Amino acid sequence: MFFSRHMRDAAGSEDMAVNGSVTPVEFTLEPRAGEKALILSQAVITIVDTGNFDSGSYGNNLTLTNGILVELVSDTGVVLVDLLDGDPIKTNPEWAQNTGNLTLYTFGSGDNVATIVWNAPGNQIILDANTILRVTIQDDLTGLSKHQFHCQGIVVG
C-alpha cells in the first residue's frame, strides 16, 4: 500500500519553521503501529517565504549557523547514516547540491516557494522498527512562512 506522510515533531506538528537554535527540534518518519516497515522512495521538501530566495542564505535571507541534519537513526537515536555526509544544509543551493533538484516558484504577489524532490538513494530507504528517518532543525527558521518534508513510498505489512 502507498503512503504519503509528513515528517512530524514530538508534538505532532508538520511545520519545520521552528526555532531550533537553543534546543534542536527533531522531525521523524517511522512505521506506525501494525506496520512492519516503510519503503521510502522520495521526500518533497517545501520552503515558503516572503520575497526572493537568496543563493547565500536559506529562504529569503535567513542565516543558518548550524544547519539542517538529515539522518537515518536507530530506535535508540544512534546515527546509522548521515545522508548529508557531515555537511548540514545551510543555504538554498545546498538542497540542489544534495538532491540534484530545486525549483523556485514566484507568483507575483504573496509568498515564494521552493520545492525540492529528494529521491531515495537506490530508489528506496527501508524504515523498520529499528530505523527512523530524522531531520533536525538546529537554527531559528521562524522567519519562514512554512517548511515541510512530505514523504512518499510503500507500507510493508
Opening angle at CA 141, ends 146 and 32, nearest 5: 65
The kind and range of the H/E element at 30 are: none
What span, in angstroms and rounded, lies between the C-alpha atoms of 88 and 90?
6
What span, in angstroms and rounded, lies between the C-alpha atoms of 89 and 67?
5
Residue 29 has pLDDT above 90, yes or no: yes
Rounded mean pLDDT of 22-29?
98
Q: What is the pTM of this model?
A: 0.95
Relative to beta strand 146-156, strand 131-137 is unpaired
**Sequence spans of domains, the chain:** 2-156
Residue 116 has pLDDT above 80, yes or no: yes
Joined grid coordinates for residue 68 = 539542517
pLDDT, tens digit, for every residue of 121-142?
777 999 999 999 999 999 999 9
Looking at residue 122, its pLDDT comes to: 76
Sign of CA dihedral 19, 20, 23, 27: positive
Opening angle at CA 150, ends 16 and 126, nearest 5: 115
Contacts of 129 (CB under 8 A, 6+ apart): 31, 36, 37, 75
Residue 44 has pLDDT above 90, yes or no: yes
Q: Is 147 exposed, middle or buried (0-12, 13-18, 19+ CB in 10 A)?
A: buried
pLDDT, tens digit, for every residue of 56-87?
999 999 999 999 999 999 999 999 999 999 99
pLDDT > 70: what percent of the chain? 100
Looking at residue 109, its pLDDT comes to: 85
Rounded mean pLDDT of 11-22?
98
Joined grid coordinates for residue 156 = 510493508
pLDDT > 90: what percent of the chain? 93
